[in-house]
């Protein structure tokens, strides 16, 4: 997320963004909001628009082919080319994105094609389709995962065509693998209440409450900072994340001044119960800081232990499993609390569009595809309207 602020000009709010040009020099960009100055509501709307706009701008990292790229030829094994491609794109993508590419290539793509001894110039669309079939039938890999393999190979082959390593891209003849329709697990309201009782006073209480009520992701919960809490206007700003992943055999944690996508950067109302919760947490942290003195870790993160050390995303996952097992609760993933939040909103007749904005999905279709099977209220409304429009008088006799 780029830096920026609001500026008033001729009675209207303007957004002023700090960007970089192609020469890496700083420049400012003014964008009109169309929102007139006057009133608390207009100021809040302008602030929210600024947040979304800042999140939508991502400063590009320029990718240049390494000097060793000249050593690549169509005669090299496709398995070796995929490993070489990883080194080429490493500095042009974010670290956690690269970790995903690396895992896909080294664990599945490279071993399969090395056994088949196929070269970069000779690989065919049929070779790639056979790989997908192997993933589905032999490894029993999910369709969504095979789609990631497809995307990686597609990008690697596009690079090969761009740099004249091959004449044509065989991926143009390969269809994108289909994935199974996702149906997330979720708790009922009664199960959520039981979970709340199980985590009360536990280190997992805060993330469980935030995931079930606000539908926050792990990275958004661990990324919450005190500066994102506005106790005056009672708002929570979701604009920072903490991501944990493995790369090169090591576990890494990175902090991002942005969310998963621009829509995920959002402002949510701070309801009274959570206001009280956060004020209690803030007071406890201040007491711990006084008690621990110089041993206390100084940080602006909200979700920390009594020594001030921030909890990690993986801690949430592992502790959640332990809590469920210990209290004999139905086994779901921590991320399924996000689905639980959506299902409870739908049950209470909140519109799909409002749920999209609450959860921070990138577009409406994402929300609709995931939760359409739960949208009973709209179907019931449709059924009621149809019965009020058409007269149905069954004429089939029970007598034969």
CATH of the domain at 130: 1.10.150.130
In this structure, the answer to whether residues 214 and 111 fall within a common structural domain is no
Lowest mean pLDDT among 181-195, 238-252, 259-273, 356-370: 356-370
Q: Average pLDDT of 2-14?
A: 80
Q: What is the pLDDT of residue 363?
A: 60
What is the distance in angstroms between the CA of the first residue and the CA of the last residue of the chain?
72
Does 332 share its domain with 216? yes
Residue 369 has pLDDT above 80, yes or no: no
User: Which string of DSSP letters, residue by residue, matches 215-241?
Assistant: ---HHHHHT-BGGGEETTTTEEEE--E
Q: Are residues 280 and 329 in the same domain?
A: yes
Per-residue pLDDT at 69 = 43
Sign of CA dihedral 255, 258, 261, 266: positive
Domain that holds residue 305: 194-376
- Residue 379: pLDDT above 90? no
pLDDT reading at 229 higher than 90: yes
Average pLDDT in the 186-214 region?
Answer: 95
Residue 380 has pLDDT above 70, yes or no: no
Q: Residues 308, 240: one domain?
A: yes
CATH number at residue 275: 1.10.443.10
pLDDT bracket for residue 384 (50, 70, 90): low
pLDDT at residue 55 greater than cutoff 90: no
pTM greater than 0.75:
no
Nearest to 345 by CA among 328, 361, 331, 324: 361
Q: pLDDT tens, 135-169?
A: 999 999 999 899 999 999 999 999 999 999 998 99
Over residues 83-89, the mean pLDDT reads 94
Tell whether 16 and 117 lie within a shared domain.
no
Domain count, the chain: 3
**One domain for residues 25 and 97:** no
Residues 92 and 204 grouped into a single domain: no
């Amino acid at each position: 997320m780029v830096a920026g602020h609001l500026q008033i000009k001729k009675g209207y709010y303007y957004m002023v963004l700090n960007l970089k040009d192609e020469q890496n020099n700083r420049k400012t960009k003014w964008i009109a909001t169309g929102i007139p100055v006057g009133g608390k509501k207009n100021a809040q709307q302008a602030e929210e628009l600024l947040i979304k706009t800042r999140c939508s701008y991502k400063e590009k990292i320029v990718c240049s082919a390494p000097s060793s790229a000249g050593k690549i030829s169509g005669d090299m094994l496709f398995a070796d080319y995929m490993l070489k491609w990883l080194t080429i794109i490493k500095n042009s993508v974010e670290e956690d994105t690269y970790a995903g590419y690396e895992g896909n290539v080294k664990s599945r793509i490279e071993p399969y094609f090395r056994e088949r001894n196929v070269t970069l110039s000779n690989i065919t669309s049929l070779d790639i389709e056979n790989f997908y079939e192997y993933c589905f039938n032999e490894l029993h890999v999910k369709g969504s995962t095979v789609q990631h393999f497809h995307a990686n190979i597609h990008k690697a082959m596009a690079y090969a065509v761009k740099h004249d390593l091959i004449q044509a891209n065989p991926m143009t003849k390969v269809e994108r693998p289909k994935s199974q329709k996702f149906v997330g697990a979720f708790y009922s309201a009664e199960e959520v209440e039981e979970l709340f009782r199980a985590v009360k006073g536990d280190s997992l209480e805060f993330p469980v409450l935030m995931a079930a009520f606000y539908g926050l992701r792990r990275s958004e919960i661990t990324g919450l900072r005190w500066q994102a809490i506005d106790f005056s206007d009672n708002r929570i700003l979701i604009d920072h994340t903490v991501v944990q992943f493995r790369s090169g055999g090591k576990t890494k944690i990175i902090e991002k001044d942005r969310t998963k996508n621009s829509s995920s950067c959002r402002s949510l109302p701070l309801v009274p119960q959570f206001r009280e919760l956060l004020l209690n947490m803030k007071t406890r942290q201040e007491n711990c800081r006084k008690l621990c003195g110089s041993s206390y870790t100084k940080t602006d993160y909200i979700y920390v232990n009594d020594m001030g050390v921030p909890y990690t995303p993986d801690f949430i996952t592992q502790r959640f499993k332990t809590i469920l097992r210990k209290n004999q609760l139905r086994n779901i993933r921590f991320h399924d609390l996000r689905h639980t939040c959506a299902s409870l909103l739908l049950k209470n007749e909140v519109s799909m569009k409002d749920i999209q904005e609450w959860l921070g999905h990138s577009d409406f279709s994402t929300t609709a595809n995931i939760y359409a099977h739960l949208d009973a209220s709209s179907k019931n409304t449709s059924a009621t309207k149809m019965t009020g429009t058409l007269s149905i008088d069954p004429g089939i006799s029970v007598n034969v």
